[in-house]
Amino acid sequence: MFLTHLRVEAGLAPLTLEAYERDIRDLFEDLSARGITSLEAVKPEHLFEHTRFLSKERGLEPNSIGRHVVTIRVFFRYLHSTQKLAVDPARLLERPTKWKKLPHVLSPVEMRRLVEAPTSEHGELWIRDRAILETMYASGLRASEVGALRLNQFSETAGAIHVVGKGSKHRMVPVGEHALRWIGKWLSESRANFVQGDEVRSDHRLFVSVRGKPLERVAVWQLVKRYAAIAGLSKTHPHVLRHSFATDLLRGGCDLRTVQEFLGHSSVVTTEVYTHVDRSKFNEVLRKFHPRVA
């Protein structure tokens, strides 16, 4: 009922609903392990213990814990407002302090090792894998956005991709020369072998699985992790490619607003974190532009 309420009344996106469901499941499993088997028995101290469990035992980052807390507060507020609970035990639960953590990025040399990792030795989908890695780095796409791309969202003539991101927000993102070449190679040489003419099964997706079905977000994660290991790179996941894309644009002189549009951020504040990543040019900029720095 709660998830139906979020989908129908709040209009939340499918991926957001999945996150809410995971968070509630985690809460129930933790409460059950503590011997709490009914919602009426949940007290504020149990929820405080749960957040400590997420931090100490699960080792989650403050941002992830904050999302869990939001889910818990919305869930119990819903139960209270629909008179399923007389008291809201989450009313005093506060989100943890959100520290700005600098994103991990790969250098251009490391990125080249990653995108060039797929070869014919790595299976029949290696051309697709190369095209995906090139596209993610060239356009800064999220893992879910890569899997959701349809054929009609890619324009070789315009050299761009029409992306539907979080909150069903639309944006046009240019695709670089290397990504264009590998997407073209995938479409002309390989994709038909897996789709086998069944576009209903493939849902007209640009990238498909070995069985010709839409590519799930988790498959994109596994793909990136696999080739990162082959390239000898640690701490690398799909968002690292997105971080590296944004950082390299700013390093090359692109303005913050344009990077914001490419990433699909609703606020430029979210994008500003990338201005703190590359400090290598600070002294050079000061010497060039500041009148009191020799």
- The domain limits of the chain are 2-81, 108-276
Determine the pLDDT at residue 100. Answer: 55
Q: Is 24 exposed, middle or buried (0-12, 13-18, 19+ CB in 10 A)?
A: middle
CATH classification of 108-276, choosing from 1.10.3720.10, 3.40.190.10, 1.10.443.10, 1.20.1250.20? 1.10.443.10
Residue written as token pair 């749960």: 50
Active site residues: 142, 166, 239, 242, 265, 274
What pLDDT was estimated at residue 7?
87
Q: What is the CATH number of domain 2-81?
A: 1.10.150
Give the pLDDT confidence score for residue 14 in this predicted structure.
Answer: 85
Q: What is the pLDDT of residues 86-109, one digit of tens each?
A: 999 998 887 665 555 567 889 999
Question: Where in 178-275 does DSSP place strands (E)?
Answer: none
pLDDT in tens, 242-293: 999 988 888 888 888 888 888 888 777 677 777 665 555 555 545 565 555 4
pTM score? 0.67
Q: Which of 51, 17, 16 is nearest to 31 (CA)?
A: 51
Per-residue pLDDT, 271: 75
Which regions in the chain score pLDDT beneath 50?
A: 285, 293-294
* 187: Cα separation from own chain's centroid: 25
